[in-house]
Amino acid sequence: MIRIENLRKEYDAKTVALDGIDLVFEDSTFVALLGPSGCGKTTTLNCIAGLLEPTSGKIFFGDKDVTQLQPKDRNIGMVFQSYALYPHLKVIDNIAFPLKQKGMKKAERYEKARKIAEMLQIEYLLDRKPTQLSGGQQQRVSMARALVKEPDVLLLDEPMSNLDARLKIEIRDEIRRVQQETGITSIIVTHDQEEAMAIADKIAILDNGRIQQYDTPEHLYHYPANLFVAKFMGNPPMNFIDAALSADGTRVEGAGFSLPLEQHMAQGGKKFAGHAVKVGVRSHLMAVHTEKVPQSMEMRLQIAENLGKEILISGMVGDSFVRVTVPENHDTFEQYKAISRSEKPLVYLTMTGVYNIFDTESGVNIALEK
C-alpha cells in the first residue's frame, strides 16, 4: 500500500504545483492520475518516484516513510513518456541495466531480462540498439526494463502519448495484462480519460494541484463530484442545462421544465434550496419525444445528424446547448430532420437514467451531498 499525506510542492513562492494531495493506493491496484496539463499529475508521480523532493508532506510505501529516500532506494519501476532508453546499450543491456546496478552477475541478469522480454514478446529484439526500434517496440522495452527488477510499484508517465491511435489501444491492453499477471501496484499518469477509464481500477482526477475526485471509473462517470470532473469526464461531454432549485428545494426548474428532485438528491436539495444550478446529463441518457410528455424539457431542435450507429440531435434548452444521441433508425432520423426544418422545431426530452445537479457557484454535485 502506498500512502500520500498532505503532499505539497512549490516551485517558487508563486507556483504551487501540488496543494495538499492525499491519496491511498491499495496493493495490486492500477490507479490513474488524470487531469489537464499543468494540473500536477506528473509532479505527483515524480514525488512518488523521488525525482522531486516535496516541499512538505509524507509518502509511505507500506509502513516505511520514503519521503527522504533517493529514487534508487525505493524499488520502483518507471516508464517515461519518451521511453528514455539508453541509446548506447543493446536492448538486452537496457533491460538488464537495473539489475547491473544491483551488482547481479551477467549470466543471471541476462536470464532475467530474457524472461521478462518473453512476457512482453520482444525476445527477437534483444540484440538491437534502441534506435533500430519502432515507437511501440521501444515502449515494450521500456516496460520490460521497469519490470525486470520486480518493483514494489510501477510508475507510468504518459506511456502512450507518443504512439498512434491503434498502437495505443494495443499497448494499453498489454500494460493492463502485464499488470494483472504480475500484480504490481501501478500508477499511470495520463491526460486521456478514455485511456484512464479503460486501464485503471481507480482514477484520481487532479486540477490546480488538488484532488478533485478519487473513485472507480464507473462512479466518476456517473456521479462526478463537481462541475470540473463532470466537464472533464466523458466524450461527448456531459450536457449542462441552466436551472434553479425551487425555494423549498424539492424541484428543479428551468426554461420550460420543472422536475421533482429524486430521492437521493433530497438532502442536497434542501441545502442548496433557491440556488442557481446546472442539470448535468449524459447525451445517451435522455429520450426524445415529438409530443409533449409529462416531466419533459422543451428543446429547440437545430441539427439532426446521422453518425452511423446513432443519431445526434443538438439544440437549445433555454440558453443551454444540449446534445442527445438516440439509436440509429432511418425513419426517426427523417422525422427529426423534418422537425428541424419546420417553423416550430420543438422536441421534448426526458431523463432515462442517471443525472446530476450541480450548484453553479461552488460546482458541487448536490446529489452527493449527505
Q: Which parts of this chain interact with other proteins (CB under 8 A)?
A: 46, 49-51, 70-72, 76-78, 80-88, 97-98, 101-102, 130-133, 135, 138, 145, 149, 162
Give 281-329 as a DSSP string: E-GGGEEEESS--TT-EEEEEEEEEE-SSEEEEEEEETTEEEEEEEE--
289-298 per-residue burial string, b: 16 or more CB within 10 A, e: under 16:
eeeeeeebbb
Whichever of 66 and 78 has its CB closer to other proteins, that residue is 78
Whichever of 68 and 132 has its CB closer to other proteins, that residue is 132
- Pairwise CA distance, residues 144 & 152, whole Å: 15
Whichever of 138 and 283 has its CB closer to other proteins, that residue is 138
Residue 154 amino acid letter:
L
Residue 294, preceding bond cis, omega within 30 degrees? no
List the 202-207 sheet strands across, edge first: 76-79, 153-157, 185-190, 30-34, 202-207, 210-215
- Pairwise CA distance, residues 330 & 136, whole Å: 41
**Virtual CA dihedral for 226, 227, 231, 237, nearest 10 degrees?**
100
Pairing type for strands 297-306 and 286-289 reads unpaired
Q: How far is the CB of 276 from other proteins (least distance, A)?
A: 46
Q: How far is the CB of 137 from other proteins (least distance, A)?
A: 10
Q: How far is the CB of 175 from other proteins (least distance, A)?
A: 17
Whichever of 76 and 259 has its CB closer to other proteins, that residue is 76
- Pairwise CA distance, residues 124 & 128, whole Å: 9
Dihedral class, residue 123 (left if φ above 0, else alpha if ψ from -120 to 50, else beta) = alpha
Helix locations, 155-206, DSSP H: 165-182, 193-199
Q: How far is the CB of 74 from other proteins (least distance, A)?
A: 8
Q: Residues 6 or more apart from 361 whose CB is under 8 A from it? A: 275, 276
Whichever of 146 and 349 has its CB closer to other proteins, that residue is 146
Q: How far is the CB of 325 from other proteins (least distance, A)?
A: 37
Residue 344 main-chain phi, psi, to 5 deg: -115, 80
- Pairwise CA distance, residues 232 & 220, whole Å: 10
Q: How far is the CB of 81 from other proteins (least distance, A)?
A: 7
Whichever of 52 and 245 has its CB closer to other proteins, that residue is 52
Whichever of 158 and 359 has its CB closer to other proteins, that residue is 158
Whichever of 6 and 134 has its CB closer to other proteins, that residue is 134
Contact, 278 vs 242, CB < 8 A?
Answer: yes
3-state secondary structure of 187: strand
Whichever of 92 and 349 has its CB closer to other proteins, that residue is 92
Q: How far is the CB of 163 from other proteins (least distance, A)?
A: 10
Whichever of 103 and 308 has its CB closer to other proteins, that residue is 103
